[in-house]
Every structure is written in C-alpha cells, then in structure tokens.
Amino acid sequence: MVACSGQPDASRSVTVFAAASLTRVLPALALAFARTHTDVRIDPVFAGSQILRMQIEHGAPADVFLSAHARHVEDLAAAGRTTRQGPFATNELVIAVPADAPIADLDDLAFGATIVMGTEAVPVGMAARTFLARLEATEDRGLAEALRRAVVSYEPDVRLVAAKVARKEVDAGFVYATNVAADPHLRALPLPDHLRVPTVLHAAIVAGPGAPRPDAASFFDFLLSDEAAEVLADYGFGPPPPP
C-alpha cells in the first residue's frame, strides 16, 4: 500500500516512543503524516509511558515521546530532556467489562467480582486511582473499598488490562474509552458525570545528542494539526484542552 510511493530513505525516520493506549491510532497517524511527508518513516515503539520515560532517561534513541500522562513529559522537560512539549489529545478512563457479561453498573462489581488495573506508575493506573479516590470522597466509601479489594492484578500497561477483560479472565478492568471503542469484546459501564476521569496525552520532542531533527519537529507539528485531530477522533480520542 504505502510501498507504492517507493522505499523511503532509511535516514529519514522518526522514532516515536508511544504510550500503549496509542497502539492502534499511531499507525493511522503515520499513514496520514506520510501523505505530506512521503520520504519520512515513522518507527513506533509501544510500552507503558513510565517504561518509555525510563528508557529515554537512560538514553534510548527516541525522537518523539507520546505519553498518556503529563507527569512523565513534565519530569523529562524539567531534566532538560525535551525541546518542545504539549498536549495533543484527550482520552477518558472507563470501567470495561466483557461485552456480553451480565454486569449493568458499578454496584454489580461490589460482590465477588475480579478487577484488574494498572500499576501506580502507568497512566491508566494513576487515572484509576484518581477515580477510586473520587468515588470514595463523593459517593460510596464502601463501594470504593470493595472495588479495591476486588483487584487481582496490577498490570504494567493498558493493553494487558484490556486483554484480560476481553478474554474474560476477569470481570472488569480500568482502561481508556479508546480501548473499548476499538474492541467489540468490550463494553464500558455507565458512570455518572462527576466520576468521569478525563486524561490528557502529551507529546514531546526528545532532546537528542546531535543536531535537532527537523523531521521530529514536523511530526510534532503534525500531531497538533486538524488532520491529526480527525484521525485521533476516528479512534475515539478527544481534542486537546484549550490552552
């Protein structure tokens, strides 16, 4: 498909370290980017944002870092490891259950259910903890406690959480709205507005050892374009918050 335009020059490539939640959308973004930059290849690397951040701290050759949480980008920026950064999309935490499971709402998870969520450091895990804290503060202390006790595993990235729910190994998992949109085996439980936890995805150009890479900057700019926003919207991501 892409190969019709000829083999891109191997030297013109942008290595993108991307949060696991971007696994599906990034190839589509790369395809859209290739329409205007036919000679630049996008090399994606997916993992939990916290793992990617640690690898960048130790000199991994990333040109662009796409994090599912502001913290990892901000910490890198504070350490002088980025040249530009900013939000480029939003997502939302949801509680996913298997599509055909007889679970109607949160209360159905209070007794004997099993739940998986992210670790403390992975963005989807941080969002889940925010949700539980909010549930505890505003609604039902007992329900929050029951959900915490129902957790059987803390996964290092959101794909593992989604896979375990989709395989029905557990009753529910804290994932992103985009995971549910992409997988017909998953369904999101309805949540009241005040319990919704939106998340903001941040992009950064990683400061490399050599000269600045113009292609990295092009891709960064592309991510903030209307064209990218359209692709992101197709995959369920929202626009970045107004500055």
Partner 1 sequence: MIRPIPALGAVLAGSLVGLYLLPLAALVLSVTGGDISRAVAHPALAPALALSLRTSAVAMAATVAAGLPLALYLARSRGRVARLLLALLDLPIVLPPAVVGVALLAAFGRGGWLGAWLSSLGIHVPFTALAVVLAQVVVASPFFVKAAVSAIRSVPNDLVDVARTLGASRTAAAVQIVLPLAAGGLATGLGLAWARALGEFGATLIFAGNLPGTTQTLPLAIYTVLEGDLSLAIAFSLAAALTAVVLLALVRAGAAPWTRRAA
Using CB under 8 A as the binding rule, the residues of this chain from 155 to 184 that contact partner 1 are: 155-156, 160, 164, 167-170
Give the whole-angstrom CA distance, residue 231 versus residue 227.
7
Secondary structure class of 147 (helix, strand, coil): helix
Report the number of secondary-structure helices (H) and strands (E) in the chain.
9, 9
The verdict on 60 binding partner 1 (CB under 8 A) reads no
13 versus 153: smaller Cβ distance to partner 1: 153
Please give the size of the binding site for partner 1, defined by CB under 8 A.
Answer: 24
How many whole angstroms separate alpha carbon 65 and alpha carbon 88? 12
Tell me the window of 14-22, 85-93, 146-154, 173-181 that interacts with partner 1 (CB under 8 A): 146-154
CA 68, 147, 191, 142 torsion-angle sign: negative
Touching partner 1, residues 187-216 (CB under 8 A): none
Q: How far is the CB of 114 from partner 1 (least distance, A)?
A: 7
Query: What does the chain come to in residues?
Result: 243
Minimum CB separation of residue 84 from partner 1 in Å reads 25
Residue closer to partner 1, measured from CB, 84 or 129: 129
Cα 107 to Cα 87: distance, rounded to the nearest angstrom: 34
Site for partner 1 in 99-138 (CB under 8 A): 114, 116, 119-122
3 state DSSP class of 99: coil
User: The tokens of 34 are what?
Assistant: 């290739």
Residue nearer to partner 1 on the CB measure, 103 or 191: 103
Binding stretches for partner 1 (CB under 8 A): 48, 50-51, 54, 57-58, 114, 116, 119-122, 151-156, 160, 164, 167-170
